């Protein structure tokens, strides 16, 4: 009689006794840490079912122990010494969610040196010290996981490192800062002013401890470096990102962009061409009909263009306590699964194995090519044709020209959308235009991204 060889075996115990919990030490119990604590506790059984073992918080380091105790209760030992967590023999994996770069670098390197895996949501840390941290992790055979560092709830690191591994990635572009997207949405939809919108973003826990990181575009630049490294196999290179935030953005340009059929979003764009890699964070016009224009509030979205998959797009919360916890815990589950495997069999930290990483040349600013929006204050509406003709004479090809709809207290303004033009050509033309007798005030130039 046929006997199924599998069924004839003794059934396996549902959880072998030898499998012990993954012991987590957490540094920081603020917005992200407290969310991680709550979600770990709430979804304990499901998380263990996915990880194959329980994930237990065994120690927390916090600056304010009284406040920390109100979050974790009496069951988790607390310390005010992060290095104790980073080096403690009972900790298998260190979750660094304290933020900052100097001390956090020391804690993470100490954890790695003590053979512990690290999970962090600290994009500034990895953007500034990633090369050193990943090299140390490779030497010690431990994982450094950071899904929560980029577009928090969206598994974009996993998508780039795993789902899209067949592709040569051509570009990545997205809204990767929740705070600024929230501010821009509030300004557009509710007419709120910049400062009031920022205060709301801070109250909701979206903003960085120093919100200048958000509004100056630096936080998005941190995330862009990590995306670009995973997309192109380049080293993490913060210094190469051209960064412009939203502080100089004027409400009048939001209205003028609308008039032309566009919305303004703070975009991070990483693109590679034969000539080099372009990395930039800037407020840019996107077509109002494009999905990206409808990413509002603190939501984020990332588009990836691969040569095989074509364009894929990912959408989700870009900031928030449990939204970030979702990514941090997903990393913990990955660590629970990979702990004990040989490092060479794991997904590499930046998607490519170290020997396959390269330093692609950086495209100089002047060589980058992009369409532009210009708002040119003029002395009289009748000068519209003169402005358009003058631009064409400067090798700036004009695609559309219009007069801005009248706004209280605003003189005549010529709006121009250009065809793609080299930034060097555009910069020279802008310099000359600003000094031209036709022009009655400061010229505003923003990039236009069709995201096609």
Interface contacts to ligand HSE, rule CB under 6 A: 152, 177-179, 206-208, 214, 219, 318-319
Given the complex with ligand HSE, which of 326 and 444 has the nearer CB atom?
Answer: 326
C-alpha–C-alpha distance, residues 24 and 85, integer Å = 9
Taking the CB of residue 268, how many other CB atoms lie within 10 A of it? 31
Residue 311 neighbours by CB distance under 10 Å: 13
- The residues near 303 (Cβ < 8 Å, ≥ 6 apart) are 172, 173, 174, 292, 311, 312, 313, 314, 451
Main-chain phi, psi angles of 315, to 5 degrees: -135, 140
36 is in an annotated binding site: no
Q: What is the largest CA-CA distance in the chain?
A: 99
Q: Quote helix, strand, coil % in the chain, to nearest 5.
A: 40, 25, 35
31 annotated as a binding-site residue: yes
Question: Which residue's CB is nearer to ligand HSE, number 23 or number 123?
Answer: 123
Cβ(413)–Cβ(406) below 8 Å: no
DSSP strand pairing (413-418 vs 369-377): antiparallel
158, 186, 223, 265: which is the annotated catalytic residue? 223
Contact (Cβ atoms closer than 8 angstroms) between residue 270 and residue 224: yes
- Whether residue 208 is annotated as binding a ligand: the answer is yes
Distance CA 396, CA 389 (A): 10
Shortest distance (Å) from residue 121 CB to ligand HSE: 7
418 appears as a binding residue in the annotation: no
Give me 221's structure tokens. Answer: 């630049």
Residue of 282, 153, 281 whose CA lies nearest to 225: 281
358 is in an annotated binding site: no
- Report the nearest approach of ligand HSE to the CB of residue 392 (Å): 40
Q: Which residue has the tokens 């990979």?
A: 338
Q: Which is nearer to ligand HSE, 147 or 219 (CB)?
A: 219
Q: Tell me the sheet residues that pair with 378.
A: 439
Q: Closest distance between ligand HSE and the C-beta of residue 189, in Å?
A: 18
Least distance to ligand HSE, CB of residue 158, Å: 16
Looking up tokens 């077509």 gives 287
Task: Write down the least CB distance from residue 20 to ligand HSE, Å.
Answer: 33
Q: 236 or 362: whose CB is closer to ligand HSE?
A: 236
Pairing of β 369-377 and β 444-448: antiparallel
> C-beta of 207: minimal distance to ligand HSE in Å?
5
Distance CA 231, CA 252 (A): 36
Q: Which CB, 218 or 443, lies closer to ligand HSE?
A: 218
3-state secondary structure of 247: coil
Residue 34 annotated as lining a ligand binding site = yes
Beta strand 117-120 with 144-145: parallel, antiparallel or unpaired? parallel
CB of 320 to ligand HSE, least distance (A): 8
Q: Is 305 annotated as a binding residue?
A: no
The SS3 call for residue 281 is: strand
State yes or no: is 265 an active-site residue.
no
Closest residue to ligand HSE, judged by C-beta, is: 179
Per the annotation, does 116 bind a ligand?
no
H or E element at residue 93: strand 93-96
* Rg, the chain, Cα only: 25
As a residue count, the chain comes to 452
C-alpha 243/C-alpha 229 separation (Å) is 17
Residues with Cβ within 8 Å of 338's Cβ and at least 6 positions away in sequence, in order, are 143, 346
Q: Is 218 annotated as a binding residue?
A: no
Of 208 and 216, the one with the shorter C-beta distance to ligand HSE is: 208
Looking at beta carbons only, is 177 or 444 nearer to ligand HSE? Answer: 177
Binding residues for NADP(+), as ranges, are 27-34
> Which residues belong to the annotated binding site for NADPH?
123
Binding-site residues: 27-34, 123, 208
| Residues noted as catalytic | 223
Annotated binding-site members for L-homoserine? 208
């Amino acid at each position: 009689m046929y006997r199924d060889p599998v069924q004839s075996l003794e059934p396996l115990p549902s959880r072998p006794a030898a499998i012990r919990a993954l012991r987590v030490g957490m540094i920081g119990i603020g917005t992200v840490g407290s969310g991680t604590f709550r979600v770990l506790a709430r979804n304990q059984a499901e998380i263990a079912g996915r990880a194959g073992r329980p994930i237990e918080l065994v120690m927390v380091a916090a600056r304010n122990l009284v406040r920390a105790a109100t979050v974790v209760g009496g069951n988790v030992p607390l310390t005010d010494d992060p290095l104790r967590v980073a080096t403690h023999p009972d900790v298998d994996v260190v979750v660094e969610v304290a933020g900052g770069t100097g001390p956090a670098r020391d804690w993470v390197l100490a954890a790695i040196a003590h053979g512990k895996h690290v999970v962090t949501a600290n994009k500034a840390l990895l953007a500034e010290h990633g090369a050193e941290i990943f090299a140390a992790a490779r030497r010690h055979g431990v994982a450094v996981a950071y899904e929560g560092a980029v577009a928090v709830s969206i598994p974009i690191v996993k998508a780039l490192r795993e789902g899209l591994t067949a592709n040569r990635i051509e570009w990545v572009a997205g809204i990767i800062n929740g705070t600024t997207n929230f501010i821009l949405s509030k300004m557009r939809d509710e007419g709120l002013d910049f400062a009031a919108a920022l205060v709301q973003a801070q109250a909701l826990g979206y903003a960085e401890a120093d919100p200048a990181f958000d509004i100056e575009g630096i936080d998005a630049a941190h995330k862009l470096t990590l995306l670009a490294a995973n997309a192109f196999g380049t080293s993490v290179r913060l210094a190469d990102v051209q960064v412009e935030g939203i502080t100089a953005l004027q409400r009048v340009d939001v209205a003028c962009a609308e008039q032309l059929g566009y919305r303004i979003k703070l975009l991070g764009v990483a693109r590679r061409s034969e000539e080099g890699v372009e990395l930039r964070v800037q407020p840019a016009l996107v077509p109002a009909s494009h999905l990206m224009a409808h990413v509002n509030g603190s939501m984020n979205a990332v588009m990836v263009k691969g040569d095989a998959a074509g364009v894929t797009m990912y959408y989700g919360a870009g900031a928030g306590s449990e939204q970030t916890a979702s990514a941090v815990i997903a990393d913990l589950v990955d660590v629970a699964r990979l702990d004990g495997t040989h490092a060479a069999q794991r997904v590499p930290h930046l998607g490519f194995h170290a020997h396959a990483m390269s330093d692609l040349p950086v495209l100089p600013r002047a060589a980058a090519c992009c369409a532009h929006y210009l708002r040119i204050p003029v002395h009289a509406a009748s000068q519209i044709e003169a402005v358009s003709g003058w631009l064409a004479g400067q090798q700036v090809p004009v695609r559309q020209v219009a007069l801005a709809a009248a706004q209280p207290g605003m003189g005549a303004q010529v709006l121009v959308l250009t065809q793609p033009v080299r930034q060097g050509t555009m910069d020279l033309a802008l310099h000359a235009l600003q000094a031209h007798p036709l022009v009655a005030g400061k010229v505003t130039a923003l990039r236009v991204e069709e995201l096609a």
